[in-house]
Each structure stands twice: as C-alpha cells, then as structure tokens.
Amino acid sequence: MTRIILIGYMGVGKTTVGRLLAQQLRLPFYDLDWYIESRRHKSVAQIFEEEGEEAFRRIEYNMLHELAEFEDVVISCGGGTPCFFDNIGYMNRQGHVVYLKATPHVICQHLRMARVERPLLKGKTPDELTAHIERQLREREPYYSQAAYTFEVSTMNTHHDVYQTVDRLLLMLGGQPSQQELQCS
C-alpha cells in the first residue's frame, strides 16, 4: 500500500507536484481543500467567511482522517493542515509525509501570480504579504519539519522543472523516475 501526503506552505506546488506524482505512480490524487469543497458544496473561502477558521479547521481535520484512510493515494494538504490538532502525527502514522519547502521570496512570487484568492492573504499589500508569509513559515516550521521527508522546491519554475522535481521525489521515495522529462526537453 502506498500513501503519500504532501505538506508545505500555500503556493509551493503541492497540487501540481501531487497530480504529476500520482500520475507517474498510477494512483488517484486528492487535494484536501478540493475534497472539502466537494463534500461541503462550498469553497474553502466561503467556509472561512461563513463559519470562521476554527470551524474550517475542524472540517479539515475530519476530512483528513477520511482521506488518509484511502489506500494507494497521493494527497496534498492545505498549508495549515499539519499545524492543527495532532494532524502531523496522524499523517506520519498514515503514510509517507513529504514537506515541499520553498523560500519566502519564491512563495510570494507564486502567490502573486495565483488566480485564486487565499482567505488568509486577502487584502494584503506586497510588503504585508511577505511579512505574513515569513511569520507563518516561522510558526509552521516546527510542524512541517516533522515530515519524514523534506524536499526543496524553490527552483520549480517551468514544466521541465516540475517533471524533474517529481522524478527526484520519486527517487527519494524509492521509486523509479519517469521518462516523461526526456520528452519535455
């Protein structure tokens, strides 16, 4: 049985890497936020706005426990998921947890380009965004660092980089890299 759980700050590429990793391993892929949205019939932003962060975190906890019981899956979690309740300990017991790590500068660039408005970043200026990310990374690092694997993703800027990242991640997890990267060159 294979269960790979990707964690890290928002904007590091958990969904992008997770999708491709699952494809390479021929496993289903689940994004925890999307799973919550499909089950609740509301966006994460709506849940935050209507019910508050505390209610969202309880929902997230329950949906994580549901998803992490699935066998042979790749799961990407929201940036805060490992930091609440005993989520990081639970994830470590359930599968291979991989912390996708990027610098604050890279995260800021990715989030500025993102098409989706993130509830916790709404209305922040670029300087406020940078300060917020740096502060949250300091707060979350003790949780993120409990992952079985830490994987640097700051250089993931092109499709070619994404394929190389997934190949390196597969090698780290004991799998075989794909030949896909060669086709993208």
pLDDT at 180: 44
Does residue 12 sit within a domain? Answer: yes
Residues of the domain holding 31:
3-179
175: pLDDT strictly greater than 80: no
What is the rounded average pLDDT of the residues 4-23?
Answer: 96
Helix pair 159-172, 14-25: axis angle to 10 deg: 60
Query: Is residue 74 one of the residues assigned to a domain?
Result: yes
In a domain? residue 26: yes
Q: Is residue 184 part of a domain?
A: no
Which is more confident, 159 or 83?
A: 83
pLDDT for the residue numbered 174: 86
Q: Is 185 a member of any domain? A: no
What's residue 176's pLDDT? 63
**Whole-prediction pTM:** 0.90
pLDDT band at 185, cuts 50/70/90?
very low
Q: Is residue 145 part of a domain?
A: yes
Whichever domain contains 46, its CATH number is 3.40.50.300
Question: Per the domain annotation, does 91 fall within a domain?
Answer: yes
Per-residue pLDDT, 117: 67
| CA distance linking residue 108 with residue 104, whole number of Å | 6
pLDDT in tens, 113-146: 765 566 667 778 888 888 999 999 999 999 999 9
What whole-number percentage of the chain has pLDDT above 70? 91
The chain-wide mean pLDDT, for the chain, equals: 90
CA dihedral 124, 127, 132, 133 (to 10 degrees): 110
Number of domains in the chain: 1
Compute CA distances 160 → 14, 137, 155, 164, 184, whole Å. Answer: 16, 27, 11, 6, 6
Q: What's the rounded Cα separation, in Å, for the pair 139 and 141?
A: 6
Query: What is the Cα Rg of the chain in Å?
Result: 16
Asked, for residue 94, whether it belongs to a domain, the answer is yes
pLDDT bin (cut points 50, 70, 90) of residue 183 is very low
- C-alpha distances out from residue 129 to 20, 105, 123, Å: 29, 10, 9
Per-residue pLDDT averaged across 167-174, rounded?
A: 91
